[in-house]
Chains A and B, each alone.
Chain A
């Protein structure tokens, strides 16, 4: 049975308007994470707009000749970064899986695995998955919040409605 690592990789906060973090794996793969303020998701309406962020994790540099292999330390690192970023209990993070290449379902599965493996952090988080689409396109999205978010029910309702006032995607 594979042992669960006790601690994650050391990470740095690079800052910037999109709240960038970075860490390096044992195999020297560099990952960056960003939490971009995202007011439009809730229709530019208070009270959630100031606490809503889009989340992305991406390989910034990969010295390996192939894709980075599975790494059990990454989920632990993620939870450390989430603990750091979610200092405000009202924070809401939205994640969407890339679907252009038809692998969105696999990405969603991997993200969910990471999330499940990382459930040992200082704070407790909940993830709500919303999968929807049309006959031609399908989307895998997730909402992540601290379990003590006082507005959890309202956030869920608002996300489900996905901003009734949402009209112009350019604004």
Chain B
């Protein structure tokens, strides 16, 4: 039979394991999103939207906004 302190320690370790597992999955997901961002910029529709934004920014600068 385990004592309460040991029980609490085991529960803490179990929670920590779950947290680490979730964190690892979050990191994996983040890396996929980062790759998606690098791929996005090559897409024609994204390029078109970015060019439009650049144009708007340039107009804004010209107007001194």
**Is A56 in contact with B49, judged by CB distance below 8 angstroms?**
no
**Is A10 in contact with B56, judged by CB distance below 8 angstroms?**
yes
Q: Quick one: CB contact mask for B31-47 with A, threshold 8 Å, 1 for yes? A: 10110111011000010
A132 and B34 in contact, given A12-B53, A38-B29, A162-B18 (Cβ under 8 angstroms): no
Binds B, one of A28-36, A118-126, A145-153: A28-36
Answer yes or no: A54 CB below 8 A from chain B CBs. yes
**Is B38 in contact with A60, judged by CB distance below 8 angstroms?**
yes
**Is B16 in contact with A41, judged by CB distance below 8 angstroms?**
no
- Number of chain A residues close to chain B: CB under 8 A: 41
Q: How far is the CB of B26 from chain A (nearest CB, A)?
A: 4
**Is B26 in contact with A54, judged by CB distance below 8 angstroms?**
yes
Answer yes or no: B7 CB below 8 A from chain A CBs. no
**Is A56 in contact with B34, judged by CB distance below 8 angstroms?**
yes
Answer yes or no: A163 CB below 8 A from chain B CBs. yes
Answer yes or no: A169 CB below 8 A from chain B CBs. yes
Chain A residue at minimum C-beta to C-beta distance from B52: A12
Answer yes or no: A161 CB below 8 A from chain B CBs. yes
Question: A107 CA to B40 CA in the complex, in Å?
Answer: 23
Q: Is the interface of B mostly helix, strand, loop or mixed?
A: helix
> Which residues on B sit within 8 Å (CB–CB) of A96?
23, 26-27, 30
Binds B, one of A17-25, A64-72, A75-83: A17-25
> Which residues on A sit within 8 Å (CB–CB) of B34?
56, 58
**Is A99 in contact with B37, judged by CB distance below 8 angstroms?**
no
**Is A54 in contact with B50, judged by CB distance below 8 angstroms?**
no
Question: A20 CA to B50 CA in the complex, in Å?
Answer: 12
Residues of B within 8 A of A (CB): 15-16, 18-27, 29-31, 33-34, 36-38, 40-41, 46, 49-50, 52-54, 56-57, 60
Residues of A within 8 A of B (CB): 9-12, 14, 18, 20, 22-24, 28, 30, 32, 34, 36, 38, 40-41, 54, 56, 58, 60-61, 94, 96, 98-100, 130, 132-134, 137, 139, 141, 161-164, 166, 169
